[in-house]
Chains A and B, each alone.
Chain A
């Protein structure tokens, strides 16, 4: 009799707990359950039949950079700070629970100012001074990345792995446009201002391979996530460089072809997430990227591209607004690096997601 009571004493709470638990979770894989799946309960790829469209905007302030020794240089002190406007869009579709395909592209606008420089020289008629303002703008659509992602064909519980492969198609313009230089006070004999405006594009100019691996492990509401990405060009490319000369305050230009090999690019993300509620996930990510290898031709000689690296701390969140809409926001704080710009940024993305063929 006494033993029965002990058994009941243990069994009853468990039973009570299981009933309560059954009231708050559903094992059914209906459309809304999948669309509102919290980050810590979600697999690395989309579910079968799920479509996701992301659109994002990154505003970055390039107020500092790291030099080749890793020392921070404050660009705003020299008046050469600048801002990036980076727009991003992608579309992804889950063919099965284990295979996802997608495409993505971006658009960038970034104008970088050089330090204003005045050249003073003595002439027979007096002193001549020429002031030069130089702006280099990078603007345009990026190449289209086609990609697919696979994960092991088993139900996600607390650990997941995925592998991604893809290629950037050289779909966007990569040749720089002819510079727009002008003289503002052209009538002045001995003192004038040249505004130099160089226009660069955003395309690689050659196909670029991309492979990536991701992993995710969950302990209750805490998720550890990491990924590694490697990009490498398929082959060497050719581009043009504009050479300009000024004679009698008139500019003339000609283009010169040069060869180049893009640097390989490596990046690693390591994040810890906390699922505060079902609709809010907060995380802190460490983002490290490095470029190395590659070369650029100058007047017949090949010069190695500068090796760059940057480590950025990224606190961010994922906020589910409705079953179909989710907002992501992340801020980037550069910590260390070499030969690299170190912008602070705020990146906001909105995701629309739904199942095309499910009610």
Chain B
């Protein structure tokens, strides 16, 4: 038989420790910079390290409310038409070496256009309402990107990366379920192959990073039904695009980055051969994109808005973008 006094002493000592623990567990753990060693869009390498994957999705949403006309004036769409476009893309990146990265991107699109107009005949006091609804959803086009660091950041103050991109027209390119010229399902793909090359430069001056890029995209000739009621496909070619941009990014704290990008793109003249040849006019836009990116360990959440500042023959509405990424 053990000494009851001793047992009680052990119990009292244990109680003291146990009672102290809940008090300790109630204290809040404050995240400090040294706790967070994750790499953000400022500090991460331009390409993924060898053997690492990154999976992510980018969702964007735009409403058609205003546009830049051919005189570069911002105008409203005046007719009673409501159009929205949502894109949910899925991207998988893989670091083949510390300097070479491969990426495949596919997207799911949801486009919607609704319009309604009324025809009134005052003489007979009769009215007719005409409603049109076009919806398009499904897998869109697919892109494959290869990135290679020519001048890696580990050796040079300013890194230089080359990016090659190929677009495959995997999305449905023709209107389907055609009931009339205004009642059909919208296509979700461009219907043509495209190639692009990009030079991307970056330097890090912690907590800042600065980037600049120049891209040229070449669109190949394709064929598709331009109007829903066309009996056969017509050949077409979209204009080539040149795009350039620069961004300044800053760590607001160890896990939030504010990125600011200004970009400019110009789409050259394209054409449609439908009996006679119709020209697709040139267009361009200057865009500002503020982007707030939250990084928690390997998980990243980004929120940005693409705001068209100036333009010609392009939409003038903001594009809302949400990004979710995970590295493993």
Q: What does the 1/0 interface line of B1-41 toward A look like (CB < 8 Å)? A: 00000001100100111111001100110110000000000
B253 in contact with A16 (CB, 8 Å):
no
B254 → A minimal CB distance (Å)? 10
With A and B bound together, what is the CA distance between A8 and B11 in angstroms?
13
Q: What does the 1/0 interface line of A1-27 toward B look like (CB < 8 Å)? A: 000011011001110110011011000
Closest partner residue, chain A, to B23 (CB atom): A17
B114 in contact with A76 (CB, 8 Å):
yes
Supposing A20-B20, A133-B79 touch, asked if A118 and B28 sit within 8 A by C-beta, the answer is: no
With A and B bound together, what is the CA distance between A63 and B66 in angstroms?
16
B276 lies within 8 A of chain A by Cβ: no
Supposing A321-B253, A322-B253 touch, asked if A21 and B119 sit within 8 A by C-beta, the answer is: no
A24 in contact with B76 (CB, 8 Å):
no
A111 in contact with B82 (CB, 8 Å):
no
- Looking at chain B's contact residues, is the secondary structure mostly helix, strand, loop, or mixed? mixed
B16 in contact with A80 (CB, 8 Å):
no
Residues of chain B lying within 8 A (CB to CB) of residue A346: 320
A9 in contact with B16 (CB, 8 Å):
yes
Q: What does the 1/0 interface line of B231-262 toward A look like (CB < 8 Å)? A: 00000000000000000000011001000000
Cross-chain contact of A111 among B24, B65, B114 (Cβ < 8 A): B65
B27 in contact with A21 (CB, 8 Å):
yes
Closest partner residue, chain B, to A275 (CB atom): B28
Cross-chain contact of B118 among A5, A8, A76, A116 (Cβ < 8 A): A116
A-contacting residues, B56-109, CB 8 Å: 63, 65-66, 76-82
B-contacting residues, A253-268, CB 8 Å: none
With A and B bound together, what is the CA distance between A49 and B63 in angstroms?
43
What number of residue pairs across chains A and B have CB atoms under 8 A from each other? 128
Closest partner residue, chain B, to A122 (CB atom): B123
B293 → A minimal CB distance (Å)? 12
Q: Which of B15, B80, B114, B252 has the most CB of A within 10 A?
A: B80
Cross-chain contact of A8 among B12, B63, B82, B119 (Cβ < 8 A): B12
Supposing A13-B23, A20-B20, A322-B252 touch, asked if A83 and B30 sit within 8 A by C-beta, the answer is: no
Cross-chain contact of B76 among A12, A122, A135 (Cβ < 8 A): A135
Residues of chain B lying within 8 A (CB to CB) of residue A82: 65
Residues of chain B lying within 8 A (CB to CB) of residue A250: none
Closest partner residue, chain A, to B133 (CB atom): A77
Q: What does the 1/0 interface line of A195-221 toward B look like (CB < 8 Å)? A: 101000000000000000000000000
B28 in contact with A278 (CB, 8 Å):
yes
B19 in contact with A13 (CB, 8 Å):
yes
Q: Which of A115, A195, A322 has the most CB of B within 10 A?
A: A115
B170 → A minimal CB distance (Å)? 29
Residues of chain B lying within 8 A (CB to CB) of residue A135: 76, 78
A20 in contact with B80 (CB, 8 Å):
no
Residues of chain B lying within 8 A (CB to CB) of residue A13: 15-20, 23
With A and B bound together, what is the CA distance between A216 and B18 in angstroms?
35
Q: What does the 1/0 interface line of A68-93 toward B look like (CB < 8 Å)? A: 00000001111111110000000000
A115 in contact with B20 (CB, 8 Å):
no
B-contacting residues, A306-350, CB 8 Å: 321-322, 325, 327, 346
Residues of chain B lying within 8 A (CB to CB) of residue A61: 63
Q: Which of B8, B20, B78, B121 has the most CB of A within 10 A?
A: B78
A119 lies within 8 A of chain B by Cβ: yes
A301 lies within 8 A of chain B by Cβ: no
Residues of chain B lying within 8 A (CB to CB) of residue A133: 78-80
Residues of chain A lying within 8 A (CB to CB) of residue B121: 119-121
B120 lies within 8 A of chain A by Cβ: yes
B-contacting residues, A97-149, CB 8 Å: 111, 113-122, 131, 133-135, 137
Residues of chain B lying within 8 A (CB to CB) of residue A14: 19
B122 lies within 8 A of chain A by Cβ: yes
Residues of chain A lying within 8 A (CB to CB) of residue B229: none
Cross-chain contact of A119 among B18, B115, B120, B252 (Cβ < 8 A): B120
Extra A-B contacts (5), CB below 8 Å, given A17-B19, A17-B20: A13-B16, A14-B19, A16-B20, A114-B80, A119-B120
18 contacts between A and B (CB under 8 A): A5-B8, A6-B12, A8-B12, A13-B18, A17-B24, A21-B23, A63-B82, A78-B116, A79-B81, A80-B80, A82-B65, A113-B78, A116-B80, A116-B116, A118-B119, A119-B122, A131-B117, A322-B253
User: B-side interface residues toward A, CB under 8 Å?
Assistant: 8-9, 12, 15-20, 23-24, 27-28, 30-31, 63, 65-66, 76-82, 114-123, 131, 252-253, 256, 292, 317-318, 320
